[in-house]
Amino acid sequence: MSQTAAFDIGGSKIEFARVSKDGTVSNRATWPTPHTSWGDFVAALQRLVAADGGNPQQIGISIAGTTDSATGIAQAANVPVVNGHHLENEISAALGVPVRVGNDADCFALAEATVGAGKGMPIVFGAILGTGVGGGLVIGGRMVRGAHGVTGEWGHGPTMAEAVAARGIPVIRCGCGQLGCLDSYGSARGLERIHAALTGETLTSQAITEIWHAGDVGATRTVETFVELIAGSLAVIVNTIGPWVIPVGGGLSSDAALLALIDTAVRQRVLGRYDEPLVVPGRTRGASGLIGAAMLADELRA
């Protein structure tokens, strides 16, 4: 049995698994994420480890939140019971094994750089296009952990205000508090927001892409605007860090035609010459949090 176990912690559920060095995932189990107390949260982790029946040598945790690099203190909007806790130290003490914790987007990037679309590549930027816009950076096979635990968050910062206003799209305040973040326009909800502004129709992101594939004129305009907004921001990331590949996760990554459009638009806007696709679907989707968390924990043995 693999010596490394992993948790992928989100707002609704905690997923547990064993992960081998080649990224094979086994012994998967889930438990509802507790929201009432820290004690209940730790107890849920203990139950999942005990039910597995093994004794992992190290545990990795992927969580939808940040862990301050200087203090180790966590902040997670969807898992409020962890706020203010030093996750690595406190969970390690409770479970009796070394623990490493990473942001879920960072863990996605590490999974892709280790066993996914970026395997063996020197610089990998993992992008998330789902309910939000996120990302993670891996250099030399190791997750880059920035100041205050923030790295690769290209979805935030007031960069879109003028661009969306010029297209007749309302400038809205992001959940982070700033106006005009890409997160508000480059996510699935952003696609819906753009479509409503340009056509007056209120549709889900899935419905928009479906009628786009069918040749709908309004949806085509929506998708073209969406791609243009994303491509400009992602091109800046490419020129700044020089990734060999950008694997994409999140719900929108399942649309191959949409990613192909984004890839073409990005490669047209960067300084380097990329003859092969740069923006590609991630290969570890569905298990990226678990795999990335395990790979992060494996660094404890390196």
Q: What is the DSSP string of 234-261?
A: HHHHHHHH--SBEEEESGGGG-HHHHHH
Q: Distance between CA 172 and CA 189 in Å, rounded? A: 12
Show me where the domains of the chain are located.
4-107+286-301, 121-281
Considering Cα of 60, then 65, then 67, then 73, what sign does the dihedral take?
negative
Same CATH fold assignment for domains 4-107+286-301 and 121-281: yes
Res 302 pLDDT > 60? no
Write out the two tokens for 30. 């889930």
Q: What is the pLDDT of residue 53?
A: 87
Q: What integer is the mean pLDDT of 193-210?
A: 98
Q: What is the pLDDT of residue 1?
A: 58
**Axis crossing angle, helix 104-115 with helix 288-298, rounded to the nearest 10:** 80
Say which amino acid occupies 43.
Answer: A
The answer to whether the CB of 254 falls within 8 A of the CB of 214 is: no
Fold of 4-107+286-301: Nucleotidyltransferase; domain 5 (3.30.420)
pLDDT above 90 coverage of the chain, percent: 90
pLDDT tens by residue, 69-84: 889 999 998 999 999 9
Fold of 121-281: Nucleotidyltransferase; domain 5 (3.30.420)
